[in-house]
Amino acid sequence: MTTQLLGSSPNITALSAEQVELYLREHPEFFNDHLPLVASLRIPHAAAPAVSLIERQVAVLRDQNQQYKRKLMDLVQVGRDNDALHRNLHLLTLALMRADSLGDVIERVHGHLRDDFKADVVALRLARLPKDFSTDTCTLPLDAS
């Protein structure tokens, strides 16, 4: 006997418990081939409301495993962010090495910080300007693109 899954396409039907049992009996290697499924199964204890120590330990280990998976995914994302930062810093460094004047340096820094690092505002403060350097030449408007 099969039953239709709720909210699913009319062409998809659910397997009966008997069909699942028959399949598992005919394919004893199924759980060996699907270990993540085994780890997620929750099988109630025969002693109804009582929970064995092993079941409690398994539940705790499952929770810890989920926490570790989340932490790992967070660390992977941090790694990706760091890779992007490294790549952008490398591009900025190469651009600065090609600069042939202070004005060119300022324009390149402004462009890379705005475009690669997605900076909303870029402000450079230079401690000592050369005497022949005109600040008007390198003033960039806020909406420079």
What pLDDT, on the 0 to 100 scale, is given for residue 53? 79
Beta pairing partners, 4: 13
- Whole-angstrom CA distances from 116 to 82, 105, 106 are 14, 16, 15
DSSP 8-state secondary structure symbol assigned to residue 41: -
pLDDT in single tens digits along all 145 residues of the chain: 455 555 556 667 788 889 888 988 998 888 788 878 877 777 766 666 677 778 888 889 999 999 999 999 999 999 999 999 999 999 999 999 999 988 899 999 999 999 999 999 988 887 777 777 665 555 555 454 4
Instruction: Show the domains of the chain with their CATH numbers.
Output: 15-43+51-126 (3.30.450.40)
Beta pairing partners, 3: 14
**Do 138 and 102 form a contact (C-beta atoms < 8 A)?**
yes
pTM (predicted TM-score): 0.54
Q: How many CB atoms lie within 10 A of CB 112?
A: 20
What pLDDT, on the 0 to 100 scale, is given for residue 144? 47
